Structure 1
């Protein structure tokens, strides 16, 4: 099998690495890729969000499968153009990608499918936003309705800050979704979909805030780990039955079947399982941790999804080890990250037993030296016999890497490694008039 992976980041590096471990995959290409991906497979410079440009490249390479990594190309309709050219694609259509492209649309789908989620209101002006904030109360949760690379969410006890974020979205011509705050730990679950059948991967947990102890602004994600020994027994089956399958069924009913990966962002709250958000692609950096443990042929799985044959797939096989991924970010990320800083020590980090480095925002300068080229520069993944071991390996590898102004969190998977993740006590739900969601 020959595969083209579309996208430039750490998620795509993890996907390429997993594909290369599949004995059924003979050749992998990436577009545009990054410096780390280019060291593994041929890369092609293309605008990943341009349907015509990507399709032209696909016709030239003639792959057996096209895997589209990021959300922007999916929302732009790249998968539709490639499918129309006659190629199998792992990635939802433009219409199905609206599940991530519009949080308001996702709430409508969840309501129709009976999926448990946070109560919410959509606001298109300051007055509506202020009313919704007062209905739900603090902590205030305000989400940009459109794509925001994981950084369009503000959770704060400061009403003025919440209203200011809403106003910035209105000023940019958008809407916001204002939700009730969901207590309890968060879980990420990727579910492979072929339009009808769903196959869950192993759950993970990521860390959105920039600083230790979940302080500072939201980012695209500063680290992740898998598996989650602390989740309730049967959680994955529960998510499939109550969230993923009903959503895929509803999308099929609407005439927009979902083919690709449905990212279920979940909260295990005091009122039970609730969906925080849907994404229509592998999450970053959870992918780096989850795929490090996958032992099933990855290319075969993605091709089965693209061709509507997931029902015939063998049960997934997983390594018994734990995986921890720690992100190294650039100076001043997530505000205005500095680029062009020299990166050293990658080979030393990769030489640490159980460690591999996945590039995200990297490039080669004119002298051929590795430099930073984005906010999240790379992720160091440690694979160990348990979370304690995996954390030690990941941070040992990270200590070998030099990046001027680089920053990372020191507490990725720390609570879980100490068995300190707790679930909230169950309580009776409250309701807010005019809100959407809260299916039990």
Structure 2
């Protein structure tokens, strides 16, 4: 079939790759230099109506929406209005991600386990509430912040500073919630027609520095599968995924697309940290290489109400993804840094996330620039291969974490070489 993938990051490169390897003709807008190899790039305005009209003009059989901003802008609604099948939730259903205050209230209405929390629409009551809470305190911007709108405040002053930053924006809302302890894990569900299929659980590493320190990023590396106990997986199905889909349907919001459940495995059982309404990034870069069945067909089946979970098949192998981020990320990523890529070996994939073209060739053009993925029979082998691929990239000043997988004792911690230079020890968050 002819498939249009919307987006231009590492997640979209992984989606394009998954569709192309099953023989589909893949188009992408706006794309990136890496995506231009397996897909035809389409240029044009990126507002929801224009992209939907582009899909209709191209006669595509399916649109797969990557980033959350397109969902919140109503791209799926626009596609459906033009008779184009689209894999992704409607604007109203994507509120599960786009409005954290609404999402927390939804979880309360449907008994979905999450942290104790309160939402605020103005600064002063939020500051007063923080004064009653012992640190650490989790402060979240209720709007879309590309995975970076969360502060784990280690003091009340840090929490107050996060709130002041949130409320410096117009029409802001903040969610303040109790800090949860345990391993964090992501479970993705492909959903459509009232049915769903789970992907293998994965684990992202969200802060910039090793040891889970420093500012939050969009994600610095992933392992898949995460060794989730069978009892926890059953709990996630029965107490989180199924009540969420049933609750959305009951509220007139039938869900199609990827339901991303970010979870904390607390001493009292799994709890929802957040819901997202699309593939995670960089989770997609680790999960999709293990999908042996046809993503495009599953997406079309879901969009037309005929998803058969039994046809969704994943490899028994493992995968690891290492992110190379630009110097200065996440505050002020340096653009225009020249990059030279190695030839991937068996089981290795280079996904472009924030790259561009210049006269000198490939350069950095974003914060998280490359996602280096490797698959192998075991997680330790996948991690070794992914780090070897990362170390073969010539990208001066690139940032990466050496402890991906370290929470389950598989981290490749220690100094290494990248871009022909020795890595210094990770900077402190205040340096």
Alignment match, 2:351:
358
Alignment match, 1:427:
none
- 2:229 pairs with 227, 232, 247, which one? 232
Tell me if 1:199 matches 2:191.
no
Structure 1 residues 136 and 274: CA distance shift in structure 2, 3 A = farther
Alpha-carbon offset, residue 414 of structure 1: 2.8
- 1:264 pairs with 253, 261, 265, which one? 261
Alignment match, 2:342:
347
Q: How far apart in 2 are the matches of 1:419 and 1:407? A: 16
1:144-164: CA deviation from partner (whole Å, max 9, x where unpaired): 000000111000212111111
Alignment match, 2:8:
8
Q: How far apart in 2 are the matches of 1:137 and 1:47? A: 47
Aligned pairs, number: 411
Q: How far apart in 2 are the matches of 1:88 and 1:414? A: 41
- 1:384 pairs with 376, 383, 388, which one? 376
Do 2:338 and 2:360's aligned partners in 1 also have CA atoms closer than 8 Å? no
Alignment match, 1:280:
277
Tell me if 1:56 matches 2:48.
no
Alpha-carbon offset, residue 314 of structure 1: 2.6
Counterpart secondary structure, 1:289: helix
Alignment match, 1:429:
none
1:254-311: CA deviation from partner (whole Å, max 9, x where unpaired): 112111111000001122110000000100111111111111111111111111112x
Q: How far apart in 1 are the matches of 2:97 and 2:333? A: 25
Structure 2 stretches of 5 or more lacking a match? 413-431
Structure number with higher relative contact order (C-alpha < 8 Å, ≥ 6 residues apart): 1
Alignment match, 1:373:
365
Alignment match, 1:188:
186
Alpha-carbon offset, residue 419 of structure 1: 9.7
Q: How far apart in 2 are the matches of 1:417 and 1:10? A: 27
1:129-186: CA deviation from partner (whole Å, max 9, x where unpaired): 1233244421110000000001110002121111111111111020100000010010
What TM-score do you get using the length of structure 1 for normalisation? 0.91
Counterpart secondary structure, 1:273: strand
Do 1:195 and 1:248's aligned partners in 2 also have CA atoms closer than 8 Å? no
Alignment match, 1:91:
88
Counterpart secondary structure, 2:336: coil
Structure 1 residues 5 and 368: CA distance shift in structure 2, 3 A = farther
Tell me if 1:323 matches 2:337.
no
Alignment match, 1:433:
none
Do 1:198 and 1:240's aligned partners in 2 also have CA atoms closer than 8 Å? no
What TM-score do you get using the length of structure 2 for normalisation? 0.92
Counterpart secondary structure, 1:213: coil
Alignment match, 1:290:
287
Counterpart secondary structure, 2:119: strand
